[in-house]
Structure 1
Amino acid sequence: MKFQMVHENYNVLNLEKSLQFYHEALGLVEKRRIAPEDGSFIIVYLGNETTDFELELTWLKDRERPYDLGDCEFHLAFTTPDFKSAHALHEKMGCICFENEQMGIYFIQDPDGYWLEVIPER
């Protein structure tokens, strides 16, 4: 059997703030949206032209407190051909939360506390 990964879901407290972050920090854009008439939730799929893989952001109307992410021992990773410029952007945004210079990688943190790894293309 073969499987292909298609998306990863993150639940978010402020959808607009998250959409802005992912667009500015990683160039992700909205590909499609699911929003029932009762307004109880909104699901937005983000992506870019480099892959079919999508990030699914889920906003729940009745959610009032931040999500408990435990020890943040999980993350989504991104590669970039222009690591130096990406690092400069993320430094300017103030979203770098951990850097491992020896490994040549760093992590940024989204508005809800999710960690995203940034790796140079090798």
Structure 2
Amino acid sequence: MITFNHFNFNVLDLEKSLKFYKEALGLFPVREKTAADGSFRLVYLGDGKTDFTLELTYLTDRTEPYNLGECEFHLAFHTDEYEACYKKHKEMGVICFENPGMGIYFISDPDGYWLEIVPAK
């Protein structure tokens, strides 16, 4: 049997990303790994409800932003507090695309990754 474990985003500024994910989505570190030589740091974020984690990979010598291509991928979250999340994300200025017809919107993290917000059905 195969089950989902985690998804990865490479980030340029780990502290900025950790702050964003905590403030915008309530995600928090559940485990970490730092390379013995200090070349990278992995921080796995969880939601406290599921076993799925988002791995943030920070390469310590990276100085250039990541090329996300056409950003034709995203990570989706569903919430039973859709209106409150929308209001918070609007105030944060992170909404990058809205689709009222589908009843969803997307926010962008500090590195430009798109995160879809879907209301719980």
TM-score, normalised to structure 1, is 0.97
| C-alpha RMSD over aligned residues | 0.7
Specify the alignment match of 1:71 in structure 2: 70
* Superposition pairs of residues 81-120 of structure 1, within 5 angstroms: 81-120=80-119
User: What secondary structure sits across from 2:51 in the alignment?
Assistant: strand
Deviation of 1:39 (Å)? 1.3
Specify the alignment match of 2:22 in structure 1: 23
1:53 aligned onto 2:48: no
CA offsets 1:82-120 (integer angstroms, 9 cap, x no match): 100000000011000000000000000000000000000
How far apart, CA to CA, are the structure 1 residues paired with 2:62 and 2:45?
21
* Superposition pairs of residues 7-46 of structure 1, within 5 angstroms: 7-46=6-45
User: What secondary structure sits across from 1:56 in the alignment?
Assistant: strand
Read off the aligned partner of 1:42 and give its amino acid letter: R
Specify the alignment match of 2:79 in structure 1: 80
How far apart, CA to CA, are the structure 1 residues paired with 2:57 and 2:35?
13
Alignment coverage as a number of residue pairs: 121
Question: Structure 1 runs of 4+ off > 2 angstroms?
Answer: none
Specify the alignment match of 1:5 in structure 2: 4
How far apart, CA to CA, are the structure 2 residues paired with 1:15 and 1:53?
20
Identity across the alignment (%): 59
How far apart, CA to CA, are the structure 2 residues paired with 1:90 and 1:34?
30
How far apart, CA to CA, are the structure 1 residues paired with 2:3 and 2:112?
27
How far apart, CA to CA, are the structure 2 residues paired with 1:81 and 1:119?
9
List runs of 5+ in structure 1 lacking aligned partners. Answer: none
List runs of 5+ in structure 2 lacking aligned partners. Answer: none
Deviation of 1:62 (Å)? 1.2
CA offsets 1:64-93 (integer angstroms, 9 cap, x no match): 100000000000000000100000000011
CA offsets 1:48-73 (integer angstroms, 9 cap, x no match): 12210000000001111000000000
Deviation of 1:38 (Å)? 2.1
